[in-house]
Structure 1
């Protein structure tokens, strides 16, 4: 059994603009940097209790994309661990959509946008990673970490799409269809990997961010409803 504290990276300017980031290397904005410091403070407060319970983090692992690294480093500093970078934790590759907002895509390539809104796990736009291939990458990465660090407590800093795959896997949901769970920037999600199965212990904990500006929400369900209306 391996415990994972899964954290989404802090906010970027492109999150604020609801642009597709994918695997482009976008840094945190000022709010995202503040969110990373809030994470550091939250984990600092929790460490005493975690040590008493025998579940203090033993490793911190991050996607190698800059926004994840910038979120992970303050946490690594307080934990006293070197941050391990892992490309398997990268966001889904969105190909031709990367760097664009939905209105841009609708104007420039409406046919591709309509294919995207089908949310078919086996269909991808030009240059993109299918959701099924992405899911396989994420699960293989988590399994490898669980095998490498059995019985340990891992902090993993990653991306919204990765967390969506974790949610779907743990809830036995289809890989097709729009996202159904909340995934706030710099939110904390506790899951356990046991005998090849993921169990969610806590999800979307963002109490450490309560007094910060409201986060932008990229809602796939809302996009789908707008198309159908």
Structure 2
């Protein structure tokens, strides 16, 4: 399967979880993938396993200068950019009154601001080339007000709006914009889930694997250019929200 043969993708938060699974799926489909992450050790380990079409790019998206270097870094390493999967994010759950204020800033900066900045950075390159794909990792929490995660859910609602507005701004330039919105995924983000919620999800089979989200991403990327998959909500069949 070489549906992405010759394409160059950049994936943020690529060293683990959904980002890593998305990277693996794109490489298997023929793409060269620039793995964007701040964890240099994890990037070296992953890229060593994945081979020559996995290219590491160390960026801390929470540092403005580093975040702004994304396109320059990709072009320096791969020469072009066809696909951006803006995947990096973090999670806060629980009562708002018990949430650390610095944690709120960090989460909103990563889940919202960094995504907007990344799209702002890469869009001119894609506009000049007249083609491109931008996919944002959102969440089912961006489509339903989840009462035990008010900050996280609000950040993903922001992404739902951002994707729908940017799709309209960029479609005339041949650029497709969409989001994939998983339910609970087995990943490091779940470490912050309320213990009781996590226990119930595990017992009921209410979790999905990152590779299942990656398959949805690949589906979005491999549709004919006349088709945009704007929103994919992918849930464990046993998940009830």
More contact order relative to length (CA 8 Å, sep ≥ 6): 1
Which one has a larger percent helix, Structure 1 or Structure 2? 2
TM-score w.r.t. structure 1 length? 0.37
TM-score w.r.t. structure 2 length? 0.36
